Structure 1
Amino acid sequence: MRVAQIGILGVGLALAGFGVFMAQDYVKQTEAAIAAVQASNANRASIETVDVLVAARALRYGEPIRNMDVQVVAWPANAVPPGAFHDLEELIPDPSRPRVALRAMEPMEPLLAIKVSEPGQPAGIAAMLTPGMRAFTIRVDQNSGISGTLRPSDTVDIYWTGRGQDGEITRLLSSNVRIIALDENADQDRTFNGVPRSVTIEALPEMVASLAQGQSTGRLSLSLVGLDDDTALSQIQVDADAMLGIERRAEQVVERCTVRTRRGAEVVMIEIPCTN
């Protein structure tokens, strides 16, 4: 009987010891989790932030931006997008001359300089131009190489086809040119189905001169460039022979030597062997 009691007591002590061990392990895990949360909160509290202006509501192309359309949020200082506005007076210096949205923006989206016009400037082609660039409108039709779905901000290569010294040729005038308007509409969120009557692009002034000359002396064709394609194209020129793979051999020039002689009242040319 005593042996059985001693055995039961031993089992009880073992279970009690195991329970104490498990409790201590649980307490340690809980303390580690609390310490991790506290450390995370401390790290968050140490992140430096700055004020950034964001859209308080959905904005569409051409809408004026008023004080009630903007709100201030704390933004991580090391992740502020370029062109962000930090002060309401910087964004709206004069309420009577508001900026307008140059593209659609969703609520809580940062307001950036590239997305809004200058104060008092309406949404239009002039507001979309990159500083130093000029707008040029190209007449297009179903033969211009443009079809399907287009929208402003797409990029194209521009080819000229016209008469050269040896016949008609096609030459690349410019590559990766940005479209800023279709039929004078600069809304980047508007998809144009079909073939527009005109495409307005932006280009350097010297390229505008080439395009104007090309449009008056031949025809311009556009080739749509894929997204994120920044391939640098070299000079491309093709004529009918190159397209058909015909190689023309240079004609051999035969040197001929002559002398002038008089026969009575007549002067004649007589061919003689050439000497060096």
Structure 2
Amino acid sequence: MRIVFVLVLLVGIGLAAFAVSVAKDRFDQYQLAIAQQREAIVPTTDVFVVTRQVRYGEPLTQADVRAIRWPADHVPFGAFTSLEELFPEGVDEPRVVLRVMEADEPVLVSKVTAPGEDAGVASRLQAGMRALALRVDVTSGVSGFLRPGDRVDVFWSGNDREGSGVTRLIRSNVQIIAIDQIDDLDRNNPTIARTITVMADPGDIAALTQAQASGNLTLALVGVGDETISEAVEVSTNQLLGAAEIVQSAGPEICTVRARRGGEMVVTQVPCTN
């Protein structure tokens, strides 16, 4: 009996040692996993997003935004990271939405106005740039497919110094900031516009004004993402039709008088008086 008791005791001690070893390995693996997770944690910061869809022209209030955690190294440019930055103290007038934002989309500086600022054309003008309205119709306005934010090449058609018809590219990549009275960048329904408002520097404004007063303007839509600058283009009527200069020979002028004598017609040469 004593031998059996000793054997059972030894087996129990062995099993206990094995269980302790297994538990220690599991504990070490758990500690290693926690350490790896701590190393993999990405630092975050607050970024304010909208809680619902907000559209152009709506005032943005504190009830429309909330803070979420965002990777600190990948914060979108122009995002607001504090409520005081988005809604400055002492300012009662709200910001106005410039672009449609969907729920949980970050609020960016480019998508809202400054506090109390109107969401009009003036808020779109860059430093040193001016706005100019140009007359368009269904032909010159690309059949109504222009919208705010598009860029166009402007062609002028008129007569040159010799009186010959000519069409010339006068400005390239001019940005449209409004169609008629609409400056919503999310507008995408075709509309036959009567005027478009473009953004340009004062020199280009003067050139476009003179071109509009002295001839007809036609717009050519520039593709999205096309950053090429069109080279100088000019086509005259003679170039288009391949017209050649006609030279007439100057021969002696002969004047005659016809008279009927009886049944006969007599032709008599006389001096020319003109």
TM-score category, normalised to shorter length: 0.7 to 0.9
Task: String of CA shifts for 1:198-235, please: whole Å, max 9, x gaps.
Answer: 11111111111111111111111101111111112111
Query: Sequence identity, in percent?
Result: 43
The secondary structure found in structure 2 opposite 1:104 is coil
1:56–1:107 CA contact under 8 A, matched in 2:
yes
**RMSD, aligned α-carbons:** 2.7
Q: Distance in 2 between matches of 1:35 and 1:204?
A: 64
Mapping 1:28-177, distance limit 5 Å:
38=34, 41-45=37-41, 47-93=42-88, 94-166=90-162, 167-177=164-174
Q: Which residue of 2 aligns with 1:228?
A: 225
TM-score, structure 2 length as denominator?
Answer: 0.72
Aligned-pair CA distance for 1:191: 2.1
**1:245: how far off?**
4.2
Contact 2:148 2:179 in 1 (8 A): yes
Match of 1:178 in 2: 175
Letter of the aligned partner of 2:49 in structure 1?
A: V
Distance in 2 (alpha carbons) for counterparts of 1:246 and 1:42: 80
Task: Return the offset for 1:179.
Answer: 1.2
Does residue 202 (structure 1) correspond to residue 204 (structure 2)? The answer is: no
Deviations 1:1-60 (A, max 9, x none): xxxxxxxxxxxxxxxxxxxxxxx9xxx9x99x9799657633442x12222221121110
Q: Larger Rg: 1 or 2?
A: 2
CA distance in 2: counterparts of 1:36 and 1:219, whole angstroms? 76
1:159·1:171 contact (CA, 8 Å) conserved in 2?
Answer: yes
**Counterpart of 1:137 in 2: which secondary structure?**
strand
Paired residues of 2:44 and 2:69 also in contact (CA < 8 A) = yes
Separation of aligned partners in 2, 1:192 and 1:137? 20
Pick from 171, 190, 207: which aligns with 1:193?
A: 190
**CA distance 1:79–1:240, change in 2 (3 Å):** same
Question: When the two structures are superposed, what TM-score results if normalisation uses the length of structure 1?
Answer: 0.72
CA deviation after TM superposition for structure 1 residue 91, in Å: 1.7
Match for 2:193: what amino acid? P
